[in-house]
Chains A and B, each alone.
Chain A
Amino acid sequence: MSLLSIHDLVAEFDSPSGIARAVDGVSFDAQPGEIFGIVGESGCGKSATCRAILRLFGGAPARIAGGRILLDGVGDLAALHERQLAQVRGRDVAFIFQDPLTALNPTMKIGRQITEVIRRHQTITRAKARAAALQLLRDVHVTSPERRLDSYPHELSGGLRQRVVIAMALALRPRLIIADEPTTALDVTVQDQILRLLKERRDRLGTSIILITHDLGVVSQICDRMAVMYAGRVVETGPVREVLDSPSHPYTQALLAALPGQVGREQALTPIEGAPPSLISPPPGCRFAPRCKLAQPDCVIGPPPPLHARDGVSSGHVDACILNEVAYGPA
């Protein structure tokens, strides 16, 4: 049984020039104790997907326009009332944001921000909540935690802030943590520390983590399985090593090829020419087709095939490319 299972999720954003389908029929699932990575470039809908799970659209005019978000033991989050969803947030599913500076209320002391989540879901005295917050900070290896409780966010360094945000997310031992680019704003040595922290958490408590990132390296480093998104859709998903070592979708291939470090210093990198399509009026057919070097006439005509395995044998490594369908037949 999956912990979280997403089927055909559609999320729409209103913009001055029309309605943008930032998430257009996304499906994936996350198993208990698994770190699931979602990668893609900016604007591909990876962040919107995760925000749609808890309906946290950052005040943007957005809505879930279709699909189901099944959380084990709770049901379809997409069908829940805002009030019911509030019960789930923080308790069953926690969220970690990209920029720890903006994710913390600048005018509230750290301590209160942490105890807030505890006191929301448990009837507990102020003192006990504070003690719990202190323990949480220790758990995420914050030095001199007593002092930090009475600090304001701007008085902490970036790494410390992200630890505080993680402590908040861990407060009620949620079964699932959704982390939206949790290390993008951090320096690489600190990123390393934070990723270890998340992994340690999973290893100790079996917490599932959905990790959103644009950095394939990060996925490679800590994820078990992954999905690659392009223009609002999942184009490929599977176990991390399989996807990264033998990518089957041309987009994944191109993305990897564009990275320095994949080729020798004397070879040129292979950038992806062109730009991602508009999400307001996306092209019919495969959305990557206009930039795809392997594109066929068929690619732009019909809708792309559903995710399917290249070798016909489902090891969970599936993609949505027509070429693979032609070669190996439907899954």
Chain B
Amino acid sequence: MAQLDFQRVERRFPVKRGLLDMVARRDRVYLHAVRGVDLRVSPGDILGIVGESGCGKSTLARIGVGLQQSDGGQVIFDGRPLAGPDPAGRLQMVFQDPYSSLNPRITIGAQLEEVVAHYFPKLPRAKRAARVSEILAEVSLDPETALKFPHALSGGQRQRVSIARALCPAPEILVADEPVSALDASVQAQIINLLKRLNREKGLTIIFISHDMNVVCYLCDRVAVMYLGEIVELQNSQDLFGDPRHPYTRALIAAVPDVRRAQSLAEPITGEIPDPFAVPRGCRFATRCPLAETACQNPQEMLPLGGAGGVRCWKAVPSD
């Protein structure tokens, strides 16, 4: 089983510079989408990455499958730095939008067969259809689905087709970028169950990107919380939800409405995510943190917690 290892991964997007900027020799301005991310994905794990919009989780996912290149640091896959999507298809991805993730003009069967043919060129043409049926069955879809066009399917079915497509090359790691955000709760459960089953039965490693704390809590073994391009906390799921250490993680969990909870709530954090062009120099969460002090104006390092976890807050680790 190959391992995926993020090592101080950076990703920044240069802000478009106009002619005048160049004439005035202004420095290039960058938007740091991902900054200094260290993350090791163990085989067979379901790793969750949570955070609010714009925190860099989707960018990280794309770097993880080789869709984007990191500007600093590196991603090690199977012992080698990852330079683009894996030729053997061992790294696959499922996307968020079930409507744009399938080619609307090609039948489901043809789309899947194309992938099978690409990765198993020696497989006789006749057996491809059978293989596609197998894969469809694996994601609990009828074999007839192969004959349909995407528009004939419901959102949940499409998302299953997307997963099926990702399964075609027989991947080891599946990166799922908000795969259930666009789905209704009742359908969402199908996809979550499916992912869980694939992990349990086939040992598929899953990186699950989401903003939904409840889903992540249920599905993931380990969870990384991202804020403004950085991982602020990384722990086992139970530890993270049971004993969140970073003030942001705590605020995030507290803010999630819970069907079982009555109306009283913890004190909310104030403000919104700062403008990504004007991030604080020190702790990035300091502007909203109820515990902020002067010392928070220094850059924060990831402090180790038990296991492979860590937290990026000097106040979070008990001083004992």
Contact = CB atoms under 8 A, between A and B. Distances in A.
A touching B, CB within 8 angstroms: yes
Interface of A: 41-42, 157-160, 187-193, 195-196, 199, 214-222, 241, 244, 254-256, 258-263, 265, 268-273, 275
B279 interface: no
Interface string B253-266: 01111111111010
A192 B272 CA distance: 11
Q: Interface centre among A196, A241, A258, by most B CB within 10 Å?
A: A258
B283 interface: no
Given A217-B214, A255-B186, A260-B217, 13 more contacts: A41-B184, A41-B186, A189-B255, A190-B272, A191-B255, A220-B257, A220-B261, A255-B185, A258-B188, A261-B259, A269-B192, A271-B186, A271-B187
Nearest to B53: A187
Given A42-B184, A214-B184, A272-B186, A259 B259 contact: yes
B257 A221 contact: yes
A260 B186 contact: no
Nearest to B257: A217
B252 A189 contact: yes
Contacts of B186: 41, 254-255, 258, 271-272
Contact of A217 (B53, B193, B259, B270): B259
A158 B184 contact: no
A254 B187 CA distance: 11
B185 A258 contact: yes
Contacts of B193: 268-269, 271
Nearest to A271: B189
B130 to A, nearest CB: 26
Interface string B228-252: 0000000001000000000000011
Contact of B190 (A188, A255, A271): A271
A260 B252 contact: no
Contacts of B261: 217, 220-221
Contact of B154 (A189, A241, A275): A275
A255 B261 CA distance: 17
Given A214-B185, A271-B189, A159 B213 contact: no
Nearest to A273: B190
Interface string B189-203: 110110010000000
B259 A193 contact: no
B196 A268 contact: yes
B189 A269 contact: yes
A192 B237 CA distance: 23
A214 B254 CA distance: 19
A182 to B, nearest CB: 13
B184 A261 contact: no
Contacts of B219: 260
A215 B265 CA distance: 17
Nearest to B219: A260
Nearest to A216: B259
Contacts of A189: 52, 251-252, 255, 268-269, 272
B215 interface: yes
A157 B272 contact: yes
Nearest to A257: B189
Nearest to A262: B259
Contact of B273 (A42, A187, A222, A271): A187
A192 B258 CA distance: 12
Contacts of A271: 186-190, 193
B13 interface: no
Contacts of B315: none
Contacts of B196: 268
A220 B264 CA distance: 10
A214 B187 CA distance: 13
A216 to B, nearest CB: 5
11 contacts: A187-B52, A189-B251, A189-B268, A192-B254, A217-B256, A220-B257, A220-B258, A256-B259, A259-B189, A263-B218, A272-B186
The 7 closest A-B pairs by CB, nearest first: A217-B257, A260-B218, A271-B189, A269-B189, A272-B186, A192-B255, A187-B52
B258 A261 contact: yes
Contacts of A265: 218, 237
A258 B192 CA distance: 10
Nearest to A221: B257
A261 B214 contact: yes
B268 A260 contact: no
Q: Interface centre among A189, A196, A262, A263, by most B CB within 10 Å?
A: A189
Nearest to B187: A271
Given A42-B184, A187-B273, A260 B255 contact: no
B211 interface: yes
Nearest to A272: B186
A306 to B, nearest CB: 25
B262 A269 contact: no
B262 A241 contact: yes
A188 B52 contact: yes
Nearest to A41: B184
Contact of B211 (A159, A187, A215): A187
Given A159-B272, A255-B185, A258-B188, A188 B213 contact: yes
Nearest to A222: B263
Contacts of A199: 263
Contacts of B215: 260
Nearest to B185: A258
B184 A220 contact: no
